[in-house]
Structure 1
Amino acid sequence: MLRRSWHHVTRAASGIRWYVHELMGDTAYAKYVARHETLHPGVEPLTERAFWRQRTDEAERAPVARCC
């Protein structure tokens, strides 16, 4: 019974860890590389640093609805 309970706890912790990583965008670069290799075989993807710079620049240029 204790082993089964521990299994549920570790499974829940794993799910929470996955959710936080997805929410924070930690897997964004890996997803970009996988998609880039599919769509553009033989072409070098951006470096991780360049990817994050581009993503940050795009987010800063996005229109933001503000009240003031």
Structure 2
Amino acid sequence: MAAAIAGHLRGLVRFFRDVMGEDAYRKYQAHHTASGCSGPPMTEREFWKEKMDRQDHNPGGRCC
């Protein structure tokens, strides 16, 4: 019973991390590797800076 509850809680945490975009850099790295890009991938710091800059220039449907 406790193992099932722990499993559900881990799934819920994973869901919220996905919704909040916490796994965006990991997905970027996987895409970079799979697409065969010739250059090195951005560092995590470079990735988040570029992502925030892009959102600031193209706000789209953000609420804030």
Please indicate the TM-score interval, normalised by the length of the shorter structure.
0.7 to 0.9
Query: Are residue 37 (structure 1) and residue 33 (structure 2) matched?
Result: yes
| Cα distance between partner residues in 2 of 1:43 and 1:34 | 14
1:40 Cα offset (Å): 2.5
TM-score, structure 2 length as denominator? 0.81
RMSD: 1.6
Name the CA distance, whole Å, in 1 between partners of 2:59 and 2:25.
23
Calculate the TM-score normalised by the size of structure 1.
0.77
Q: Give the alignment of 1:19-58 within 5 angstroms.
A: 19-58=15-54
Residue segments in structure 1 that go unaligned for 5+ positions in a row = none
**4+ residue segments displaced more than 6 Å:** none
Identity fraction in percent: 28
Unmatched tracts of structure 2, length 5 or more:
none
Number of equivalences: 61
Q: CA deviation at 1:45?
A: 0.4
- Is residue 2:60 matched to residue 1:61? no
Confirm or deny that 1:10 pairs with 2:2. Answer: no
Following the alignment from structure 2 to structure 1, what is the Cα–Cα distance between the partners of residues 25 and 53?
15
